[in-house]
Amino acid sequence: MALVVFLRGVNVGGHRTFRPAALAKQLEHLGAINIGAAGTFASPNR
At residue 9 the predicted structure's pLDDT band, cuts being 50, 70 and 90, is low
Q: What percent of the chain has pLDDT over 70?
A: 80
Whole-prediction pTM value? 0.60
Q: Where are the beta strands (DSSP E) in the chain?
A: 3-6, 33-35, 40-43
- The pLDDT of residue 11 is 65
Is the confidence at residue 29, as pLDDT, over 70?
A: yes
Cα gap 22→37, rounded to integer Å:
11
Range(s) of the domain holding residue 37: 3-8+17-43
> In this structure, what is the dihedral angle of CA atoms 11, 12, 13, 19, given to the nearest 10 degrees?
0
Domain count, the chain: 1
At residue 14 the predicted structure's pLDDT band, cuts being 50, 70 and 90, is low
